[in-house]
Each structure stands twice: as C-alpha cells, then as structure tokens.
Chain A
Amino acid sequence: MSGFYVICEARGEEFRPATYELLAVARAITATTGGEVTAVVAGPEVTLKAKLDGLAHRVLALTAPELTPFSADPWVEALGVAIAAVTPRAVLFGEGGRTREVMPRLAARLGAWALTNCVDLRVSGEGTGASDEGAALEISRPVYGGKAYVTNTVPADGLLLAAFRPHSFDAGMVPAGLTTAVEEVAAPVAASRVELVERREGGTRKADLTEAAVVVTGGRGMKGPENFGLLEDLAAALEGAVGYSRALVDAGLAEHAYQVGKSGKTVSPTLYIACGVSGAIHHTMGMDTAKVVVAINTDPKAPIFEYADYGVVGDVLQVLPALTEQVRAATS
C-alpha cells in the first residue's frame, strides 16, 4: 500500500478546482511520507491529461469507448480494476454527483473505507517529526449538520476512498514541477446497464454553485424575484454564483437546483454572503464549512449571525447595491 490516487474530474475543457487541490495535498503528504501521486483520468477527461503535467508522479489514463459519456457501471469497473492493481493508501475524489455515484460502489466492491464531505487530510502526528510511510493519516469532516467535526485515523494498512468538499486545500500549497510519467491503459469494461435516454441542458448555464469560490445567497429578506438582480450583480462583481434559501424555493420563487441547505446543495466556498437569510439549521447545514461568512439581516438576533464572521444589520435591498458598488470599486 503506497501513494495516493487522485480521481481527476473536469467541467468542460478544464479540470475542477478540486482536482488541483487534491493533487496538491497528495504532493504535500508524499513529500514527507514518500510514495507516489497518481492522477487518474478516464473517458472524457483523457484528452485533458497534458494539463496534469508536473502535478503528479504519474498520470494513469483509462480509455474505453464505454467510459464516454460518463456512466457509473463502466466507471466503477474500470476504476475498481485500476485501484485493486496497485492498492494505494487512499483514493481522493472531489465532492459531486459523479463521485457520490461511483465512490460508494467502489468501496463496496473493494471492501474499502469510504468517507464523504471531508475537509482535511494530514499525516498523523504532523509537526512532531513522526512522519514516514507507515504513519497513519487523519481525515476530518463535519457531522450532524456541522454541529460537530469528527477526525478519523486511517491505519497504514487500510484502503480509504474519500470525497473532499471544494476549497478544502490550497492548490498552491506545494510547488508542482514533478516529472510526470503518462501511462495509457485500455480498460476492459462492459457496457453500462443504464441507458441515457435524454439529457436536457438548462437554458442559461449559470455558474456552478458547489464549485464557486464565492456564493451569494438570498433568503426571505429578498422579498421576491424582482430583487434577485441585486444578488446577481454582487455575485458577478465577485465572480461568484447565486444561491437561494429553502423559503424562496418552497414558495416557488427560485429553482431547487440553486437551493443551499439540507434539502438542496452543500457549498463550501471561500466567501459566503447570506442576504436576508435567517439561518435555520436547514440552511446552515449547507454552508457551515465556508471559510468566511458574511450575514446581512434586519434582525440582529437572527441565528445566521452565529455562523457568520461579519454581520451587517440592515435591509439587504439597501445594503446589497452599496456593497456591489464598493466591491466593484475595490476590485477594478
């Protein structure tokens, strides 16, 4: 058991930020423990493998016609064979729909541990000089809607599959510059049992909520769709995405695809701005791992302020235009 596999995932022609973040943490850990970092690309991502040059010791490219477009059956089969052939210490995934479909099935197939929602990975006893290839890993994630964090110890002789929330690591934490060997392998896989009947792309493709480094979320304080442009403006100024609270979605004013919270999306951006959101547990479960949280609300006792770093008591409809103006002035 040695080294790390990072399952690289792209959106269109570019890898997700999580791919670079996970490659970075794997490089950082192997720099002290030894072992190799293998960047795994499969199906549609194989054509992007040149972008991984220098970021891993090895690129493993799995090719088969059945792997494009993505379908869970052949992916589980191809990744299962590739992982079992080497048995790395850990296989790292970025959180997302594809990961949630593939990773649990791989864990069942390989008899591995699987953890989702992870936000940290380090060598046990880091900073005490106790690092070597036999050292245990420590991995952390929120539970009970972020009311507590649990850190698990992963023994050196066990296989771990782990999915990390976006922005868990700094992609620049360690330099790249590795010499990357590329290995292309034809994956012997059967066709998927699941048939893709139809894929309907949404009209205007909005920025992906779960990936965005900045998320601006509107709640009941936004009143109605006539004011949603204020959220869009601020998000645009910050190059972020817009989300909505359950109150607005349940009232039929916003789409479920953009809902942040327990029954919607979980986001973990660098900056989260809650606009007129009360901060019920349903909501905070979806954003509690954001790095910096700003809350704007008329009610100084709103629970959202307990989850915020910065608070502004005021009417979002007045604060938002002022904030957008200030952000534009500061970042232009």
Chain B
Amino acid sequence: MRVVVLVKEVPDLEAAVKVTGDGSGLEVEKRRGLNFFDEIAVEAALKLKETEGATTAAVGAGAGVGVEAMRRAVAMGIESPLLVDDAGLEGADSLTIARALAAAVALEPADLVIAGKQATDDEAGLVGPMVAEILGLPCATRAIGLEVDGGSVLVTREIDGGEEVLRLPLPALVTAEKGLAEPRVPGMAGTMKAMKVQIPRTDLATLGVEAHPVLPVASYRTVGKRPPVKMIEGEPAEAAAELVRLLRQEAKVL
C-alpha cells in the first residue's frame, strides 16, 4: 500500500510575531519546522511502513518554504518527498493549497492520505478535509487510532463525551490528533540522509492547478486588547473576596 502524508512547514511556536506599523502586514521570525500534528501524521505513516510494508511519501506546498519540514519527514523515515514550490502560493487561500496538494497526491495512486488535524500557525484545520473532497475520498478527522483492515481502515477518534470507531473504505484520508502516534526522534543515519537529499519540486502550472482568489486582508493587529493585569494582594481569603468583588462589579461576569 502507498501512504502519503500532507506536511506543512510552520513558524516555531516561540517565533516572535510583530504587526507592522500601519497594520498592513505581519513580520514573523524565521524559525521554522514541521507542524506538530504533521509529525504525528508522519509517524502514523511510518508505523504502516513497518506493519503493512507500506511505501511512504510526503507532499507539501509553499512559496520558497517547506524544505525544512520535508527534511524532517525524510529524517524520520519518509521515502519520497515532493514539494509544490511556487511563488503563487505566497499568502494563498486554503483552497489553492488544497488543490495543489491534491494534484500532487494524485500523481501516483495512494491508498491512504494522512494529514495533521490542523497547523499550529493558523489552527484552521481546513486543508486536510478539502483535499479529501477534491480527490473524492472519504474522510475522518482527529484520529487517535488507525488500523488497516483489508480494503478498509478503522479509525478511532474522540468525540464529545466519548469515542467512536469508524470504518472507511480505502482509498481514504484521515487527519491526525495528538495521541495517534508518538513521533520518533530521527537517528543519525536519517538526519544525514535528510541533509543530503534533493527534494523534488513541482509547480502549479505543471500540476494544472487553478488558484482560488485570496480573501483581502483589511488589517492586522496585535493582541494588546487585554489591559495590564490587575494584581490582587492579601491572604487567600482576602484576595478571594476582592477577586469576586471585581469579577462582579468591574468585569461583570458573575
């Protein structure tokens, strides 16, 4: 079976983010890596390589970015990376990214596509299910368990107040929740291989992808909406009484 992982390169969680003076843009510190949930997806694919003899591939899309994420996936053990690298993907709409990834996945038949449930930069969670829709695949989101069973896959996932098990006929697309797999730390051999690997690239024109228009940005602003914290002094009983008074009379939330 062939398993393809959708990977996104994102700014590090600790990267500094600044709104430019006039609110027209964002400056994000260039510390980047493989998205947290995509690392879990990569690990889930590698498990299938071990248990089912699956071949593994990773596809990503970006404008001049994505190589770091791809190298990480290769270092972990992914065999075939492919990057859609196109200036037209700069600030692109989610649907354009999804179309690009779907076209890249479709270059070779895949039995299972695994994506992270969302990326840590925009937390949107849109691209995985969009790719499923574009490719006409059944889709299950937020998997915490994944088991191949003949021509189908059993997916366990958390729902409000419990869990459910779904059966999807293959080919299918699944998105990974924390708990699906514990991502391995690449060994020396993997890291060396990833440093040397040439990441194959393609572009939107080659894939025949039509861009979806970008939603115009009106403005960016920093959080700054929360005034400085008001510290409440005193012994626990005193502080608690004052806190409740403020929550009632000032914040008006009690």
Which A positions have Cβ atoms within 8 angstroms of B? 11, 72-73, 76, 97, 100-101, 103-105, 107-109, 111-117, 124, 138, 142-155, 158, 160, 192-202, 205-206, 208, 238, 256-257, 262-264, 266, 270-271, 281-282, 285, 288, 291-295, 300, 305-315, 318-319, 321-323, 325-327, 330-331
Which of chain A's residues have a CB closer than 8 A to the CB of B161? 201-202, 205-206, 208
Answer whether A313 and B217 are a contact pair too, CB < 8 Å, given A206-B161, A285-B123. Answer: no
- Asked if B126 CB lies within 8 Å of chain A CBs, one says yes
Q: CB-CB < 8 A to B133: which residues of A?
A: 76, 104-105, 108-109
- B167: A residues at CB distance < 8 A: 194-195, 197
User: A109 to B95, alpha carbons, bound, how many Å?
Assistant: 10
Interface hit among B57-65, B185-193, B197-205, B225-233: B225-233
Q: Is B88 an interface residue (CB 8 A)?
A: no
Please tell me if the beta carbons of A143 and B121 are within 8 angstroms of each other in the complex. Answer: yes
Q: A262 near B36 (CB under 8 angstroms)?
A: yes
Tell me if B215 counts as interface (CB < 8 A to partner A). yes
Which residues of chain A are within 8 angstroms of B223 by Cβ–Cβ distance? Answer: 142, 146-149, 288
B124 partner, pick from A117, A256, A314, A319, beta carbons under 8 A:
A117
Query: What is the CA–CA distance of A175 and B164 in the complex, to the nearest angstrom?
Result: 39
Complex contact A311–B93 (CB within 8 A): no
Chain A at the B interface: SS class: mixed
Shortest CB-to-CB span from A74 to chain B, Å, is: 12
A331 to B17, CA, bound (A): 41
Give the number of chain B interface residues (Cβ < 8 Å): 80
Q: Does B87 contact A (CB under 8 A)?
A: no
How far apart are the CA atoms of A282 and B133 in the complex, in Å?
A: 31
User: With A208-B161, A292-B247, A311-B230 in contact, is A148–B17 under 8 Å at CB?
Assistant: yes
Q: Return A318 CB to nearest CB of chain B, in Å.
A: 4
Minimum Cβ distance to chain B for residue A280 (Å) = 9
A292 to B36 alpha-carbon distance, docked (Å): 29
In the assembled complex, the Cα of A147 lies from the Cα of B240 at a distance in Å of: 30
11 A-B pairs besides A309-B230, A312-B232 with CB distance below 8 A are A108-B133, A144-B26, A153-B218, A263-B36, A263-B178, A266-B123, A294-B247, A310-B229, A310-B232, A319-B236, A327-B244
B247 contacts which of A108, A202, A310, A315 (Cβ < 8 Å)?
A310
Would A330 and B164 be within 8 Å (CB), given that A309-B227, A310-B246 are in contact? no
Task: Answer yes or no: B243 CB below 8 A from chain A CBs.
Answer: yes
B-side contacts of A105, CB under 8 Å? 129-130, 132-133, 139
Which residues of B, 120-151, contact A by the 8 Å Cβ criterion? 120-134, 138-142
Residue of B nearest to A111 (CB): B212
Query: Is B226 a contact of A100 with CB atoms below 8 Å?
Result: no
Q: Which of B94, B131, B219 contacts A151 (CB 8 A)?
A: B219
A208 smallest CB distance to B (angstroms): 6
A200-B162 in contact (CB<8A): yes
8 contacts between A and B (CB under 8 A): A114-B95, A116-B124, A151-B217, A196-B165, A197-B165, A262-B13, A285-B123, A308-B229
Whether B226 contacts A293 by the Cβ 8 Å rule is yes
- Within the complex, which residue of B11, B15, B95 is in contact with A108, where a contact is CB–CB below 8 Å? B95
Give chain A nearest CB distance to B141 CB in angstroms. Answer: 5
> Please, which residues of chain A bring their CB within 8 A of the CB of B219?
150-151
In the complex, the answer to whether B164 meets A198 with C-beta atoms within 8 Å is: yes
Determine the residue in chain B with the shortest Cβ distance to A306. B229
Within the complex, the shortest CB–CB distance from A200 to chain B, in Å, comes to 5
Cα–Cα distance between A309 and B37 once the two chains are bound (Å): 31
**What residues of B have a CB within 8 angstroms of the CB of A306 in the complex?**
229
